[in-house]
Amino acid sequence: MVKTMKYLAFFSIIFFSLSSLAYPQESRLNKILGNGTIFFTDENNGWIFDEYHIRKTSDAGKSWEVMLTFETSKKAMYSNTIGTNLITFVNAATGYFITSKYSGISNNAYVYKTTNSGLSWLRYILSISNNVNTPNSLSNLFFINEDIGWVVSDSKNLLRTTNGGVSWEQIFSGTLSIQKIHFVDAQNGWAFINNKLNKTTNGGANWNEILVPGSTYIYTISTIGNNTWVGGYNDGIYLSTDGGLNWNKVSNTFPSGPQSWSNGYLTMFSATHGVSNGHITTDGGLTWTEKFNRYATYSGVSLLNIDNCWFYDSNGNLNKTVNFFNASEVVFHSTTNSLENHKFTSIKILGANNVVASFNNGAILRSSDNGKTWKFIDELYGIHQIRDISFTNSSTGVAVGRNYDNPTNTAFISRTTDAGESWSIVYQLPGIPNIYDEDIYSVDYSNGTYYALSRSKLLRSANDGLTWSADSTDMSWGLHQIKFIGNTGFGISTYGNFKLYKSVNGGVGWNLVRDVFCGGLSFVSNNLVFASFSDSQLCKSTDGGITWSKSGWTPSWSFNRVFFKDSLTGIASGATFSFGEGTFVTDDGGNTWSKVSELYNIINGTDNGIDYVSKTNGYIATDDGLYTLKSFGIIDSVTSIDTENEFNPQDYLLYQNYPNPFNPSTTIKFDIPSNANESIVILKVFDLLGNEVATLLNEAKPSGSYSVDWDASKLSTGVYFYKLQTGGFVSIKKMVLIK
């Protein structure tokens, strides 16, 4: 989801390279919005941090762009970062997050800072000027402006920076746990120390306990001007208008959410309006009314004012309120569901712009602009599990799977004739209560016939999925993956230790091909088949499975997933003792492979789990999200036809260069929309210091899609930025040259 970014004056700063944080060019769609920390800096710009990504929205939450992807190997570090309030933005451009020291992952705690809305991040080792040991754990990051901030170290110490995180000083060391900090200005602030309210008037160097009569356990605070509200479990809500000298009890109870009270919060917008645990008050906390049933911690809701509040509902969808919770609208559908751990199952590219993806909780995601934005189709959502999708053409397709509803667990086939915009059930197959036996596992289309596969039946449709008939052939051993070319098909058994079978008569009869475990299958064309076997690794057959030869893959274990788009180009994933866990690509028919991701077992079971039409236009549906092929090295198209100029761009767009990192040449692509007037297009490259190192383009261009090749053989290894400027549009992206 690439969106326009305004050019920011950043060339006076040397930026930290994110190559140690992010996989090159990795991009995932928003899989789970409801499990991250969310906050908005104004009515349009917001952020979500989860354990893998930093995402940004510029349209009030309707679409999200991945700004930074964390390494999987450092998951524990960033998971802790999210869980202990170590992120903050002081305005739309400037923000911080901090990582703790973890044995085996990092020997230092780090401060990360952006001054250009997340376009790039500086990294500083968290150094303490008064020679205190590097902290092992950090929590409760709090900045009041771009320079002054505090963070709790090892739960009992307080650190402060006055230069935007470049250096820190330990200003307080205690013996009791500091549970939360909240500063009003550079000198005055509050802290919960061992569940007692404390106050400082000298920037945190000294703290004095503040007695709140009648309250024994304080855990939340909110300030508006001279007004200070505090609340605690079974203690109610108290208000002070004189800096904590005197307190009045304004509510006998504290609004509690559906879960534990200990993560509750209180946020006041004004002297009268506030929010706490899904409840609102319009009288300064005297009375409370429940307005949303999603238990909201600080991470689950973002509050700006009474007309700009975002929160997650009980289904994990992101909502925006109208007129202080009198009404709300869903601005982004989450792909989470409480029934089970969900995953993307299939992806199909339908022509130049339309893309349809399926999720096993019944959600359909549809894009009509080649993946820039996505629409949530909820006709099957929460009712059916979608196992697989397949399409006859650019408009007609089917989705298969099973119902959630017990006791029947009915298998189903649903059909669309408008490229996934709407769906209707056309076939149902009664199942066995509480057993998955009658799931429809996969679907394939070839030469005018759909084939859909359950445990014991093969279903066919010869009229584009409108009507279906069930084969009477005994398939008690079951198949969970099929691929047909004409009347010839291959499949892997569900039972019987996952063996490879073949049919030469449209699935009427099946014969065992090899009596060994088959982890992955790809039926490419005519008699060309790739399969991963447990006894001989990745093999290739050119005679339809009669004979097999090793394709050059030599590790001592086999791939779990294999997909070839043509005879040379393939993607595979799994665990191998020689190469380890990960995803690999080949462009020579499997003779040699390159590791492109640490992610293991990433490609889902059917051939429809991956689809692409060019090196930079494709997707992989996984248990872990929906990936673009820009994450996975060189992926060639099926034919030599260039599809880039077969459609008219709808918006200005500067793509990530490819490959990246590169040596010594790379390609930069950009779009000029069809409604744009011909204007001068300027494409330049800058080094880290902001020095211009190349002008790649400076001429008038009409609407269309363009690519420019850049040879950097005369330059040294390093980070460079390329800038596109045309017709009022400006966009900048980073690239890495490695020699």
Instruction: Clarify whether residues 597 and 562 are in a common domain.
Output: yes
Sheet with 344-350: list strands edge to edge: 344-350, 354-359, 364-367, 375-377
- Point out the least confidently predicted range of 286-300, 525-539, 610-624: 286-300
Count Cβ neighbours within 10 Å for each residue of 355-370 and write b for 16 or more, e otherwise.
bbbbbbbbbbbbbbbb
Instruction: Clarify whether residues 604 and 683 are in a common domain.
Output: no
Name the domain boundary from 631, 662, 685.
Answer: 631
289: region left, alpha or beta (phi > 0 left; psi from -120 to 50 alpha): beta
Instruction: Clarify whether residues 531 and 665 are in a common domain.
Output: no
Instruction: Clarify whether residues 584 and 731 are in a common domain.
Output: no
pLDDT at 639 (0 to 100): 23
Tokens coding 383: 């009712």
Residue 32 lies in a domain: no
Residue 389 lies in a domain: yes
Range of the domain at 712: 653-737
Instruction: Clarify whether residues 622 and 663 are in a common domain.
Output: no
Instruction: Clarify whether residues 588 and 488 are in a common domain.
Output: yes
Instruction: Clarify whether residues 663 and 623 are in a common domain.
Output: no
607 backbone dihedrals φ, ψ, rounded to 5°:
-60, -25
- DSSP E strands, 638-713: 653-654, 665-672, 679-686, 692-701, 704-711
Instruction: Clarify whether residues 503 and 588 are in a common domain.
Output: yes
Residue 226 lies in a domain: no
Instruction: Clarify whether residues 600 and 669 are in a common domain.
Output: no
Express each pLDDT in 542-558 by its tens digit.
Answer: 999 999 988 765 554 56
Instruction: Clarify whether residues 728 and 611 are in a common domain.
Output: no
Q: Is the peptide bond before 661 cis (omega within 30 degrees of 0)?
A: yes
Stretch 231-251: mean pLDDT, rounded?
A: 86
Residue 9 CB partners (closer than 8 Å, separation 6+) = none
458 pLDDT band (50/70/90 cuts)?
A: confident
647 pLDDT band (50/70/90 cuts)?
A: very low
The C-alpha angle 410, 415, 420, rounded to 5 degrees, equals 120
Instruction: Clarify whether residues 579 and 668 are in a common domain.
Output: no
How many structural domains comprise the chain? 2
Q: Is the peptide bond before 659 cis (omega within 30 degrees of 0)?
A: yes
Instruction: Clarify whether residues 624 and 681 are in a common domain.
Output: no
Residue 318 lies in a domain: no
Stretch 701-723: mean pLDDT, rounded?
A: 85
Pick the more confident residue, 612 or 240.
240
- 490 contacts 545 by C-beta, under 8 angstroms: yes
Q: Which of 586, 497, 484 is nearest to 533 (CA)?
A: 497
Residue 390 lies in a domain: yes
Express each pLDDT in 132-163 by its tens digit.
Answer: 777 777 888 999 999 999 999 888 999 999 99
The CATH number of whichever domain residue 672 belongs to comes to 2.60.40.1930
The alpha carbon of residue 286 and the mean position of all alpha carbons in its chain are separated, in whole angstroms, by: 40
Tokens coding 49: 């941090």
Express each pLDDT in 624-644 by its tens digit.
Answer: 667 776 544 433 322 222 223
The CATH number of whichever domain residue 369 belongs to comes to 2.130.10.10
Stretch 502-526: mean pLDDT, rounded?
A: 87
- The DSSP secondary-structure symbol of 512 reads E
Residue 687 lies in a domain: yes
Name the domain boundary from 571, 601, 631.
Answer: 631
Residue 589 lies in a domain: yes
Residue 86 lies in a domain: no
Q: Which of 120, 172, 175, 117 is nearest to 150 (CA)?
A: 172
281 has which bridge partners? 274
**Tally of CA atoms within 13 A in the half-sphere of 118 that contains its CB:** 27
- The DSSP secondary-structure symbol of 83 reads H
Pick the more confident residue, 285 or 612.
285
Own/partner long-range contacts of 543-551 (Cβ < 8 Å, ≥24 apart): 544/488, 544/502, 545/490, 545/500, 545/502, 545/513, 545/514, 548/514, 551/589, 551/590, 551/591
Express each pLDDT in 1-29 by its tens digit.
Answer: 222 222 222 222 222 222 222 222 233 33
pLDDT at 600 over 60: no
Name the domain boundary from 599, 631, 663.
Answer: 631
Question: Which pTM value belongs to this model?
Answer: 0.54
